[in-house]
Structures are given as structure tokens and as C-alpha cells.
């Protein structure tokens, strides 16, 4: 059953957007024009699919009428073949249309910024940060994505108190978004002489990388401090004021970056993180307004929620949101995340359809 009334509303919306696309008032507003163009293309794809369905239905009807009126056996056979083929195509097009009608997150096509931070567990948590950073790096390599470290706070034993990096490629945020939350590890630390299993936790935040048209930042709202880098680094560490700290006065958000030798590069990276955090905050605000009494079990991205446990003694990985367990720990830590990612995306899709 096709949602005819919904299609009519989308057709009307498409006509209204077509007028706006050629309206100089909107063309001069880069942010508004970008949103209008994106939505118009989305509607164009939906309506083309609907028109294809209408054509297939017409073909089926015409051939059914032909069979009723025709006596020629050869023509009747050809008409039946045409009906079978058209019905097969129709089934595929209807499935595609239903998929297209699922509300899209406008951020799905964006690149992503990943923030990994050590939580409970001291050095062991910092080491696990490094493990997950490598896991996501391997996964990104397999996807052909580009990875750029934006900020890091390494420990002396090969871990990270915090590491922030960007991933660029096709639909990165839509794939990585479900990694947000608390990741728990259960294993015997190298420093544990009694062989007792310890439990540590780290938090992962996945933010859509904001474009200039998404978030406008007023320079007057920023306090920018520069200082000398500290910790492990290259020649310029501790010798030049290259580290940058940006404070966004309206929200109190603070971003620091000291990985680059250039103050300008550190500032650029810090602004990229700040813009994405502001976009994430705006998204959360909108989601809370839309669904104050309901949170998606799969897609809420709640950083305080325990989402996955990595149990080393049993080589087991369990995702608690979809009750999926795999005993391929080593493979998963080398970037073979597809089983979990695909199951989470499917669960999210089914939830959207059912709501």
C-alpha cells in the first residue's frame, strides 16, 4: 500500500523548494541555500522512485487489459511475461521507496570526529584507549577513509588519556555514530602479578564534522590562549608558544590542541573540534525537544551508557544494546567491526520504520 497522501505532501514541498532555489533571497544565504538544495535533491530521488512505481503499475494494468481482449496466444504469452517482469521490478521499487521515506539524519553523509577518553581504570584504561584508537584506525583503512589526529594526550606507557581524530570519507558519521558510549574492557593487566581480571572503562564520542554552513561562530565569543606545548612531541615542544586553547564563552566549551608545531594549524584543528561539539549539542537539544519522553535504544549516543564489553579471557565482545556477542575479539580489535556496525544500523532502521 503506497502512502499516497504523504507523496502528495512531498510533491507540494518539492514545488515550493524549486521556487526557493531560484529566489535570490535564498541564494544569498549560503546556510539556508545549502539546506534547501540538499532537501530538494532528497525529494527528487523519492519522487523519481514513486513515478517509476506509477509507470510499472500502468504497464501491468495495460498488459492485463490486453490479455482480456486478445485471442492471439503468442501475444497473451508475451503480455504475461511482461507482467511477471514488471511485478518483480515493482516489488523492488516499492522496497526502495519505503527505504527512502525513512526520515534521514542530515548529518549521515558527514565526516566524523571521534573522541576517546580514559575513564575508570587508570593506566589500564589509557592502554585500552590506544587499543580502540588502533581498532578504529584499522577499520578506517579497510573503508578507505582518511584519518587525521586532531589532539592527543599520550601516557608514557603507550596509552592515551585522550585522543581526538577525524575520519573523512563516504557517509562516515552514519556508520560510526553507534560507537558513542562507554566501552568496557575485562582483562588481566600486565602489572597484575596475581592474574586477577580487572575491569576498566573508556568513553567514546562520535560527532558529525560541522561545516561552516552548519554552525556559525562569532569571533567575539571566542577566547584564544596560546602556550607552550608539553609532553611527548617533536623539536618544537616546550620551545614555542604553538599550543592553542579556545574557550567558547556562550557555552563554556573548551578545546585545546598542541599536536602540531604550527600555532595556526593547532588553531584550525581546535576550531574544527569546537564546531563539531557545538553541532552535537544543537542536535541533542533538538532531539530532546522532539522526543522528550523517548530515547532510541540504539541511536541515542548517550556517552554515559555502557554499550559494549570486551572480555579478553574469553575472547568475547558483547554489544549490550542489541544483545549481540562475538568470540572474535582479536579480529574485531584489528578493525573487523562490520558484524556489529551492520547489526546496529539494521536495528536503528527497523526502529525508525516501527515508529
Residue spans of the domains in the chain: they are 4-100, 112-209+298-354, 219-289
Residues contacting residue 226 through CB under 8 Å, at least 6 positions apart: 241, 242, 243, 244, 245, 263
pLDDT value at residue 46: 93
Judged against a pLDDT cut of 50, whether residue 292 lies above it is answered with: no
What the block records as the C-alpha cell of 331 is: 579480529
Where helices occur in 22-149 by DSSP H, the ranges are: 24-27, 30-69, 73-100, 123-143
In CATH, what is the architecture of 112-209+298-354?
A: 2-Layer Sandwich (3.30)
Judged against a pLDDT cut of 70, whether residue 212 lies above it is answered with: no
Task: Report the predicted TM-score, pTM, of the whole model to 2 decimal places.
Answer: 0.67
214 pLDDT tier (thresholds 50, 70, 90): low
Q: Whole-angstrom Cα distance, residue 175 to residue 344? A: 9
Judged against a pLDDT cut of 90, whether residue 92 lies above it is answered with: yes
Torsion of CA 23, 24, 27, 32, to 10 degrees: -60
Q: Whole-angstrom Cα distance, residue 347 to residue 211? A: 29
Could you read off the pLDDT of 138-170 as tens digits, one per residue?
A: 999 999 999 999 889 999 888 999 999 999 998
Q: Which CATH number fits domain 219-289: 3.30.160.20, 3.30.360.10, 2.130.10.10, 3.30.70.3400?
A: 3.30.160.20
How large is the average pLDDT for residues 30-58? 90
pLDDT value at residue 294: 38
Taking 3-state DSSP, the helix, strand and coil percentages for the chain, each rounded to the nearest 5, stand at 50, 20, 30
- % of the chain residues with pLDDT over 90: 46
Beta strands in 144-221 (DSSP E): 146-154, 160-168, 181-187, 198-208
Amino acid at each position: 500500500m503506497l502512502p499516497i497522501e504523504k507523496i502528495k505532501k512531498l510533491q507540494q514541498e518539492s514545488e515550493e523548494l524549486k521556487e526557493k532555489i531560484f529566489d535570490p533571497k535564498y541564494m544569498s544565504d549560503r546556510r539556508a541555500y545549502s539546506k534547501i538544495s540538499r532537501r530538494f535533491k532528497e525529494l527528487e530521488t523519492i519522487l523519481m522512485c514513486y513515478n517509476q512505481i506509477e509507470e510499472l503499475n500502468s504497464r501491468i494494468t495495460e498488459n492485463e487489459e490486453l490479455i482480456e481482449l486478445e485471442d492471439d496466444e503468442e501475444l497473451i504469452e508475451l503480455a504475461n511475461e511482461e507482467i511477471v517482469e514488471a511485478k518483480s521490478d515493482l516489488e523492488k521499487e516499492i522496497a526502495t521507496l519505503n527505504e527512502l521515506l525513512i526520515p534521514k539524519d542530515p548529518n549521515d553523509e558527514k565526516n566524523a570526529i571521534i573522541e576517546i577518553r580514559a575513564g575508570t581504570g587508570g593506566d589500564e584504561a589509557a592502554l585500552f584507549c590506544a587499543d580502540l584508537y588502533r581498532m578504529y584506525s584499522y577499520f578506517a583503512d579497510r573503508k578507505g577513509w582518511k584519518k587525521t589526529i586532531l589532539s592527543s594526550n599520550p601516557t608514557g606507557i603507550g596509552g592515551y588519556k585522550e585522543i581526538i581524530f577525524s575520519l573523512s570519507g563516504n557517509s562516515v558519521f552514519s556508520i560510526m555514530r553507534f560507537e558513542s558510549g562507554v566501552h568496557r574492557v575485562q582483562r588481566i593487566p600486565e602489572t597484575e602479578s596475581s592474574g586477577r581480571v580487572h575491569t576498566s572503562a573508556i568513553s567514546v564520542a562520535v560527532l558529525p564534522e560541522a561545516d561552516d554552513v552548519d554552525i556559525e561562530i562569532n569571533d567575539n565569543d571566542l577566547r584564544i590562549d596560546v602556550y607552550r606545548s608539553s609532553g611527548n612531541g617533536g623539536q618544537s615542544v616546550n620551545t614555542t608558544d604553538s599550543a592553542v586553547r579556545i574557550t567558547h564563552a556562550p557555552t563554556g566549551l573548551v578545546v585545546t590542541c598542541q599536536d602540531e608545531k604550527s600555532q595556526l594549524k593547532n588553531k584550525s584543528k581546535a576550531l574544527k573540534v569546537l564546531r563539531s561539539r557545538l553541532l552535537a549539542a544543537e542536535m541533542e537539544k533538538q532531539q530532546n525537544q522532539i522526543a522528550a519522553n523517548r530515547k532510541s535504544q540504539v541511536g541515542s549516543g548517550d556517552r554515559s551508557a555502557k554499550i559494549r564489553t570486551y572480555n579478553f579471557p574469553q575472547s568475547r565482545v558483547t554489544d549490550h544494546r542489541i544483545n549481540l556477542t562475538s568470540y572474535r575479539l582479536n579480529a574485531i580489535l584489528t578493525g573487523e567491526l562490520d558484524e556489529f556496525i551492520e547489526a546496529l544500523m539494521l536495528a536503528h532502521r527497523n526502529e525508525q520504520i516501527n515508529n
